[in-house]
Structure formats: structure tokens, C-alpha cells
């Protein structure tokens, strides 16, 4: 999904994405600031059922604006069900967003407060569509689980991922990344918010049911620095660190944010 016509600062930054991607000003854009007093408790929201098979973890890839940990998604070994979802959704990849300093980096805000980073686990509707590419632009195509990360103690569950970053230092590098169950990165409290939105970078498709956990996970300042050491350039080009890669919150435009709690 990466393309050279967008980035996170200067003339390619988020405020300019609408020139090439008019949907950037659409009615269902993400991320948002979750105003807790305006969320609506929905008793019909079931608990999430998450079943990830560590054997489906496949590779880690530097995509130039972040890194993705990709999963084998040709079958239903790693799936998300329950919650607001009518079907089961397959895990495709996870990635992170972070900021140039420890006091910013998350994409979603809660009551105006920003967090140090945010984990996104991207799933697609395999019950209805033949592939991730087919699902990515459809209104019921994707589910992204978001986990807000708060600077504090080091998170040992992140370490395997962070240790692999040195194998994909520059853009387009990929390396095997196997035997990992990303559910170890989820908070223990099952409470979440859900709303309909979009991908948070181009092509910005309005195709995402967002599930944002209420509880944060921890990440240390040293671990955040490891994210920022990743390079946006290809090997041999001038070194440019990925200092930040988050989109500011977008207007809610009348959407309802439901709460499971």
C-alpha cells in the first residue's frame, strides 16, 4: 500500500494527502479522538474471540514508513471473531505507529490524550472475499485492532519484534519472522471501543471496523528509540530515520463510537 507520493511531514504530509486521495476528507476517516462521555455502551457487543497460531508468522518487512510483520493468511489458522463482527476475519499483518518524542505517536486519542505509540493488527473478511486485496476497499472488508502504548516499563513481549528490526534496517528489506503469537501484545482487560472508519494512510479506504482496546500496554523509552532507528531509505541511499508515522485525528462527522463496557 506504500507509494512515494505521501509521507508524514512536509509537502507529502497528512494535510496534503487529499490532493491525490480525495477520500482523505471523507465522512468515515481514521484515526479519531475517542471522547469517552460521548461513546455509547452497546450490550450486544460480545467479547472478542482471538485465536492466533504462532506457526502463521511469516516475515518482517520494512515498508519505508513503518515495518510490517506478515502472516500466512491462506487459511483460518489465525482469526478474530466475536465483538461487533458477523464473520471471522483472518490476520494479515501487524505494524506500529510512533512519534519523534515519547509524548506522541499514537493515532487514536482518548479524551484528547495522545499515547507514545499504537499497535495495529490488520484482519480481512475471508468469509466474503477471496483475498486481502479484494477485501481492502470494501466496507465490510477489514477489521483493525488497535492497542495504545504508554511509555513506562519495558515490555518483554515486544522484544522479539524489536530484535528483528536490525534485519530490516532499510526500505524493502525483508527477513523471516516465525513462531510468534501476537496475542501476547494485547492487554489483559477485554473492554474495547468500536467504530467504522478507514485505513490511516493512503489509499485511506473507508473499509475498516476499528476495535480499540481501552487498556494500554507498556513500552519503554529505549524500546521506542528502537522503532525510530528504522530507516525510511533504501540501502545505499542517504540515511533517513522513520522518526514519526502517525496521522492526526480526523473529524467524527456524526459517527457513533460504541463501548463494550
State the binding site for Zn(2+).
95, 97, 120
Q: What are 118's strand-pairing partners?
A: 97, 148
Task: Give the Cα separation of 160 and 139 in Å (integer).
Answer: 34
Q: Which of 21, 65, 123, 205 is catalytic?
A: 65
What distances in angstroms separate CA 74 from CA 26, 71, 134, one per listed residue?
Answer: 32, 9, 14
Rg over alpha carbons for the chain, rounded to the nearest Å, is 17
Instruction: Tell me if residue 108 is catalytic.
Output: no
* Known binding residues: 95, 97, 120, 200-201
* Known binding residues for substrate: 200-201
CB distance 220 to 153 below 8 Å: yes
Task: Give the Cα separation of 63 and 137 in Å (integer).
Answer: 20
Which positions are catalytic? 65
Amino acid at each position: 500500500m506504500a507509494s512515494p507520493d505521501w509521507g508524514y511531514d512536509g509537502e507529502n504530509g497528512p494535510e496534503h494527502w487529499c490532493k491525490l486521495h480525495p477520500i482523505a476528507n471523507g465522512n468515515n476517516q481514521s484515526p479519531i479522538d475517542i471522547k469517552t462521555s460521548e461513546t455509547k455502551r452497546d450490550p450486544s457487543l460480545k467479547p472478542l474471540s482471538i485465536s492466533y497460531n504462532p506457526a502463521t508468522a511469516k516475515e518482517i518487512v520494512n515498508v519505508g514508513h513503518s515495518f510490517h510483520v506478515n502472516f500466512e493468511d491462506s487459511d483460518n489458522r489465525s482469526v478474530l471473531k466475536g465483538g461487533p463482527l458477523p464473520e471471522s476475519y483472518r490476520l494479515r499483518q501487524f505494524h506500529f505507529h510512533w512519534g519523534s518524542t515519547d509524548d506522541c505517536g499514537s493515532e487514536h486519542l482518548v479524551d484528547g490524550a495522545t499515547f507514545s505509540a499504537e499497535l495495529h493488527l490488520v484482519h480481512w473478511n475471508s468469509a466474503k472475499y477471496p483475498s486481502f486485496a479484494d477485501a481492502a476497499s470494501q466496507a465490510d472488508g477489514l477489521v483493525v485492532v488497535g492497542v495504545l502504548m504508554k511509555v513506562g516499563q519495558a515490555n518483554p513481549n515486544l522484544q522479539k519484534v524489536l530484535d528483528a528490526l536490525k534485519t530490516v534496517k532499510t526500505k524493502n528489506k525483508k527477513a523471516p519472522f516465525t513462531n510468534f503469537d501476537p496475542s501476547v501484545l494485547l492487554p489483559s482487560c477485554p473492554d474495547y471501543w468500536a467504530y467504522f472508519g478507514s485505513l490511516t494512510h493512503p489509499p485511506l479506504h473507508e473499509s475498516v471496523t476499528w476495535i480499540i482496546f481501552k487498556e494500554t500496554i507498556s513500552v519503554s523509552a529505549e524500546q521506542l528509540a528502537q522503532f525510530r532507528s528504522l530507516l525510511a531509505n533504501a540501502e545505499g541511499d542517504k540515511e533517513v530515520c522513520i522518526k514519526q508515522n502517525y496521522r492526526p485525528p480526523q473529524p467524527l462527522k456524526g459517527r457513533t463510537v460504541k463501548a463494550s463496557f
